[in-house]
């Protein structure tokens, strides 16, 4: 089975590149090799590879920058995705695509279901929502995985920023009133592989949207405290300890783009098809933290 991966150089893409070859003949393109906004080049790549499954990990992810780069965000997250979905339909290939909790406005008091109405509050979320809608309208065979707060060992992310700041400063302020969970590229990849195996075994999951996050709930403040507490236990030299991370409100930390206050996603639909149990967010996150800290010590 041939798998075509786009966006191989991102946080999720790098992890997918490391492991997807275990379940198929993998052809992976980083952005430098294939720009997803180059529709002709994408169509040619799909024709040349003739994949059974297309995995799209390419995305515009600059949440705040998107407020000033709306055209670029839509070009990557919506228009390119719409074209890719048409290519998948023509090739009779499955399309696996990754989306975000930012398609919701965060006003719900409980975890979001896949069937809840979307209402993005920023340009990034709106562009990702448009991409989801385009895939559904194309009517290709597809799996859309919505996830939250992606933090991995590759690239720049919240965990690496917190570790750097905790080494430089005596105290940190972190938002405590936005609720959700960090999700590792490793978990996203494990779920993707499970879905690919189901397709291979002629037991494909129903086309549609699935929420993909670990169990439990948290806040950015708790995630930061968990990280710094773990780093201290691993003998990382820190100026700020977990007790020095102070909770603040979203209003105290203004950003260009509004964020959903509630990013909790219900995973019941995914769990009904998955061959393994989703981990608790702390177990998933601390596995990533361990990798980041080992790399920090080796530097």
Instruction: Give the N- to C-terminal CA distance of the chain in Å, as an integer.
Output: 39
d(CA 129, CA 124): 9
Query: pLDDT of 120-175, one tens digit each?
Result: 999 999 999 999 999 999 999 999 999 999 999 998 899 999 999 999 999 999 99
In this structure, what are the phi and psi dihedrals at residue 28, rounded to the nearest 5 degrees? -115, 135
Q: Does the global pTM surpass 0.95? A: yes
Number of H helices, E strands in the chain: 10, 10
H-helix segments, 152-253 = 158-168, 185-200, 220-233
d(CA 54, CA 91): 10
Query: pLDDT of 9-58, one tens digit each?
Result: 999 999 999 999 999 999 999 999 999 999 999 999 999 999 999 999 99
Q: What is the average pLDDT value for the chain, to the nearest integer?
A: 97
Query: pLDDT of 189-247, one tens digit each?
Result: 999 999 999 999 999 999 999 999 999 999 999 999 999 999 999 999 999 999 999 99
d(CA 282, CA 181): 9
299 — pLDDT class (breaks 50, 70, 90): confident
Query: pLDDT of 49-106, one tens digit each?
Result: 999 999 999 999 999 999 999 999 999 999 999 999 999 999 999 999 999 999 999 9
Strand partners, 54: 4, 95
Task: Residue 213: count other Cβ atoms within 10 Å of its Cβ.
Answer: 29
CB 211 within 8 A of CB 265: yes
Catalytic residues: 124
CB proximity list for 122: less than 8 A, separation 6 or greater: 63, 66, 67, 102, 257, 258, 259
The β-bridge relationship of strands 218-219 and 179-180 is antiparallel
Token look-up 């917190």 returns 162
Percent of the chain exceeding pLDDT 90 equals: 98
In this structure, what are the phi and psi dihedrals at residue 127, rounded to the nearest 5 degrees? -70, -40
Helix (H) or strand (E) holding 172: strand 172-175
Domains and CATH numbers, the chain: 2-157+183-215+265-279 (3.40.50.720)
């Amino acid at each position: 089975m041939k798998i075509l991966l786009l966006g191989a150089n991102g946080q999720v893409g790098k992890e997918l590149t490391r492991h997807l070859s275990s379940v198929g003949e993998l052809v992976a393109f980083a952005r430098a090799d294939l720009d997803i906004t180059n529709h002709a080049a994408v169509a040619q790549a799909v024709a040349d590879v003739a994949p059974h499954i297309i995995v799209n990990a390419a995305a515009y992810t600059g949440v705040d920058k998107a407020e000033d780069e709306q055209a670029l965000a839509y070009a990557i997250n919506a228009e390119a995705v719409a074209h890719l979905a048409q290519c998948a339909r023509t090739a009779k290939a499955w399309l696996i695509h990754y989306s975000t909790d930012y398609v919701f406005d965060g006003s719900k008091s409980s975890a979001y279901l896949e069937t809840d109405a979307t209402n993005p509050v920023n340009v990034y979320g709106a562009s990702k929502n448009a991409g989801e809608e385009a895939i559904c309208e194309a009517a290709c065979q597809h799996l859309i995985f919505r996830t939250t707060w992606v933090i991995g060992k590759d690239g720049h992310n919240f965990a690496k920023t917190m570790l750097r700041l905790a080494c430089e400063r005596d105290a940190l302020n972190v938002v405590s009133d936005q609720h959700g969970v960090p999700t590792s590229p490793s978990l996203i990849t494990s779920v993707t592989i499970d879905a690919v195996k189901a397709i291979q075994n002629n037991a494909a999951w129903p086309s549609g949207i699935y929420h993909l996050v670990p169990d439990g709930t948290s806040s950015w403040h708790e995630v930061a405290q968990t990280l710094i507490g773990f780093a201290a236990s691993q003998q990382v030299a820190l100026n700020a300890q977990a007790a020095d991370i102070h909770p603040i409100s979203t209003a105290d930390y203004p950003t260009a783009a509004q964020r959903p206050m509630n990013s909790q996603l219900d995973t019941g639909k995914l769990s009904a098809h998955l061959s393994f149990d989703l981990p608790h967010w702390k177990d998933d996150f601390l596995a990533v933290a361990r990798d980041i800290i080992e790399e920090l010590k080796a530097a």
